[in-house]
Amino acid sequence: MGSAVAYHLARRGLKVLALEQFDIPHEFGSSHGVSRIIRLAYAEHPNYVPLLQRAYELWRELERKTGERLLFVTGGIDAGEESSSLVSGSLLSCQIHDLPHERLDSASITRRFPGYRLGQEMIGIYQPDAGFLLAERCVVAHVVAAQKLGAEVRARERMMQWRTVEGGVSVKTNRDSYRARKMIITAGPWSRTMVPALRDTAVPERQVVIWTQPLQPDYFKLGVFPVFNMEVPEGRFYGFPVYGVPGFKIGKYHHRLERVDDLDQMDRDCSLEDEDVLRAGIRRYFPDANGPTMGMKTCLFTNSPDEHFILDRLVSDPQVGIAAGFSGHGFKFCSVVGEIMTELMIDGAPKLNIEMFRLSRFAAAQVRDCRN
């Protein structure tokens, strides 16, 4: 998010300083690794679809600017029982926004995409625009494009403190001090340590993904296997065709429900217990991918209470913007979040509607809870 914000601010001709506490890229936050799914039939809420349509445009624009391919369209399947929130939500987004899609039963899915073995009770919404983004390359591309436009980007520099001052903000890092007229905080899992208002509304959670060697490599190839999300009794799985590293990649939302209060103490190793959670999904729904383990990695979600994003300025300090709480589904939106936060902070309001992402919705919910 920070790399995209830096790019969009620089694109407006502003003087930009971007700070990153680790390297660019690095493996300690939420945006590392090869791939992240992008999809248009958005089960989480149909209001995300206009943001996604703009996100696709901006990813393509970034590809043109940097001469690098970042987005691969594979088609995507949202699967589960007809009544599941994933299938009904995906279908609703398709209907409201008139998105091309097909409703497929489990046998048709296996005929067309032989890697899939869904239960008879399951159906899938196939949406042809879904695919994946090359995650770390996207971060690098935004940084390089921002630098080309004059942004100053500094890695291994950690913001230690900030405060509002007359006409702007003052920031202290481990290396220096700065003043700026405005500041946008995109600190991912660290957001709650930077912004007290996010203490209970942007909470980190440990995640794990695995890559396994397919037993039938042809079924899981790029061009054959569509990305997926799947709501099943075990939970919600997501996965990708083989690309970039050996192996079929699968993860499970909220993995083992491990909230992380101290990021310095987080367990960044992957265990056999972690593997069991993911193998259960592979064994049952993708048996032809159930070969030897090729790799595993930890990563972090930053969950908001309703799992919708937080895109706002602070009421107490309106010169400070925040983009946080991406709740495990934010990467695909980085490009458009960069544009939205720029418009919010520079023009006063973005062109796209971000009402449902206001931080104040949680304060309002707390007041309602007290009254009940």
Ligand X SMILES: Cc1cc2nc3c(=O)[nH]c(=O)nc-3n(C[C@H](O)[C@H](O)[C@H](O)COP(=O)(O)OP(=O)(O)OC[C@H]3O[C@@H](n4cnc5c(N)ncnc54)[C@H](O)[C@@H]3O)c2cc1C
**Looking at 49-57, 182-190, 269-277, 339-347, which segment touches ligand X (CB under 6 A)?**
182-190
Among 37, 104, 210, 344, binds ligand X (CB under 6 A): 37
Give me the residue label for tokens 């589960």.
80
Q: How far apart (Å, rounded) are the C-alpha atoms in residues 6 and 59?
A: 15
Q: Does 55 bind ligand X (CB under 6 A)?
A: no
Q: Does 189 bind ligand X (CB under 6 A)?
A: yes
Q: Counting beta carbons within 10 angstroms of the beta carbon of residue 154, is it exposed (0 to 12), middle (13 to 18) or buried (19 or more)?
A: middle
Nearer of residues 56 and 326 to ligand X, judged by Cβ = 326
Among 249, 308, 313, 329, binds ligand X (CB under 6 A): 329
Give the nearest distance from C-beta 105 to ligand X in angstroms.
25
Q: Does 209 bind ligand X (CB under 6 A)?
A: yes
Give the nearest distance from C-beta 256 to ligand X in angstroms.
13
Among 113, 116, 326, 357, binds ligand X (CB under 6 A): 326
Among 80, 251, 281, 350, binds ligand X (CB under 6 A): 251
Nearer of residues 245 and 364 to ligand X, judged by Cβ = 245
Among 47, 74, 106, 207, binds ligand X (CB under 6 A): 207
Q: How many Cα neighbours within 13 Å face the side chain of 304?
A: 24
The encoded tokens of residue 59 equal: 């990813």
What separation in angstroms does the CA of 361 have from each of 45, 296, 323, 357, 369? 16, 36, 15, 8, 12
E strand or H helix at 112: helix 106-112
Q: How far apart (Å, rounded) are the C-alpha atoms in residues 115 and 217?
A: 9
Give the nearest distance from C-beta 369 to ligand X in angstroms.
27
Would you say 108 and 114 are in contact if contact means Cβ atoms under 8 Å apart? Answer: no
**Looking at 88-96, 101-109, 298-306, 347-355, which segment touches ligand X (CB under 6 A)?**
298-306
Among 94, 300, 344, 345, binds ligand X (CB under 6 A): 300
Nearer of residues 99 and 171 to ligand X, judged by Cβ = 171
Q: Is-cis flag, bond preceding 217, omega within 30?
A: no
**Looking at 13-21, 81-89, 96-104, 275-283, which segment touches ligand X (CB under 6 A)?**
13-21
Tell me the per-residue interface mask from 106 to 145 with ligand X, x by CB under 6 A, - otherwise: ----------------------------------------
**Looking at 175-183, 210-218, 268-276, 327-335, which segment touches ligand X (CB under 6 A)?**
327-335
Nearer of residues 37 and 40 to ligand X, judged by Cβ = 37
Nearest Cα residue to 304 out of 207, 202, 204: 202
Nearest Cα residue to 340 out of 5, 2, 3: 5
Sorted by sequence, the CB contacts under 8 Å of residue 79 that are 6+ apart come out as 86, 87, 106, 109, 116, 118, 122, 123, 124, 125, 228, 229, 230, 231, 232
Q: Does 229 bind ligand X (CB under 6 A)?
A: no
The encoded tokens of residue 9 equal: 């601010």
Q: How far apart (Å, rounded) are the C-alpha atoms in residues 24 and 108?
A: 43
Give the nearest distance from C-beta 230 to ligand X in angstroms.
13
Q: Does 241 bind ligand X (CB under 6 A)?
A: no
Q: Does 331 bind ligand X (CB under 6 A)?
A: yes
Among 137, 236, 308, 332, binds ligand X (CB under 6 A): 332
**Looking at 242-250, 297-305, 348-356, 358-366, which segment touches ligand X (CB under 6 A)?**
297-305
Would you say 58 and 114 are in contact if contact means Cβ atoms under 8 Å apart? Answer: no
Number of H helices, E strands in the chain: 9, 20
Among 75, 214, 328, 338, binds ligand X (CB under 6 A): 328
Q: Does 186 bind ligand X (CB under 6 A)?
A: yes
E strand or H helix at 177: strand 177-180
The site for ligand X (CB under 6 A) is made up of 1-2, 19-22, 29-31, 36-37, 158-159, 186-190, 194, 207, 209, 238, 251, 299-301, 326, 328-332
